[in-house]
Structure formats: C-alpha cells, structure tokens
Amino acid sequence: MDSAEYMLFETALGVCGIAWSEAGLTRVQLPDRDAAATAARLAKGARRAGGAVPAYANEAAEALARYAGGEAVDFSGALLDFAGIAPFEATVYHALRRVGRGETVTYGALAERAGSPGAAQAVGTAMARNPWPVVVPCHRVLAAGNKPGGFSAPGGLVTKAKLLAMEGVYLDDGAPMLPGLFD
C-alpha cells in the first residue's frame, strides 16, 4: 500500500479530503457526490489515516474549510509533495501558485509565466492533472478570451464558476446566473 494517508473533513461546500506523505500534501479532493465517493477517489493512492495527522496536513484542512466558507486564504505556504510530478508540470504549478485570489490567467499567459511560451495546450494538460485543486488554484486558469475552459474536479465548470465567484470573479462578464444555480 502507498505510504500516503488521507482524511476527510466537512466544509461549507461539502466533504473534502486531503492526502499526504512525509514530504507534504499529495492530493486535495474537492467534494464529490457524497463522502463515500470523495473517500474512494483518495483511497486510490492513499490509506485512511490511522494515527496522528501531521500539523501541516491539519493546517491545510483547516485552511480549505475556511476557504470553502468564503474566507480569503493564502495557500502559498502549504507544503506540497512534488514526487512523481513531471518537471514541466511542477514549473507550471509553481507559477500558478503566484496567481492570487480574485485574479485569473489564461492557459497561454501561464505558459509564458512558466517559461514555455506557446505551451498553452500542455498547461491545460497540467491543469487537468493538478493533484491539489484550490491550493494550486487551477480554477483561476481560463481559456483564450477569458472563456471558462475546462475543469476536471467534480462538478466541472459549475464548480469552477462557483470557486471563482467566491473570489469575486464572475464568468460571462458577471451576467446574473439562474436563481439557485449555486445553492
């Protein structure tokens, strides 16, 4: 079994989870359809925590819960385990961690920031593989023309729009959404 462990925790958005190793967080899991589905995703690469949870993992869970409650949270100090992450993707994730709350960047602009102009498609692939959504804020990456692009977390683009709206960024130039869409 993998040396990573995971835990689930309640947030205003639903049950989230994190997995970690001795080196840092290995995964962040946004809420799925229910807690069992969230746990099943995490269990693919980790085992349920049976002992003491490291302080950095508890701090990350608490920060994610505060974020889900609408608080402005800075995740730049979160300890991440980059083992198994391709060098290009690691460079992209480091560049993305500098995109702050309420800001967005296009795939192409992020490729430039990561030192690989013209690699927008590869950045899109890196976003789809991001093991730490919200902590490495892939929801802040938009397609050309500030279109939503994709989002591989549960809920897809609805989740992406909700996370951005929580940060004061509204897709479609802030056009009102249907009542109850984000309830």
- Residues marked active site are found at 138
Q: With CA atoms as reference, report the closest residue to 157 among 145, 168, 172.
A: 172
Which residues, other chains included, contact 124 with Cβ-Cβ below 8 Å and sequence gap of 6+? 107, 149, 150
DSSP per-residue string spanning 66-99 = HHHTT-----TT--B--TT--HHHHHHHHHHTTS
Using only C-alpha atoms, what is the Rg of the chain?
A: 16
- Nearest residue to 75 via CA among 163, 165, 170: 163
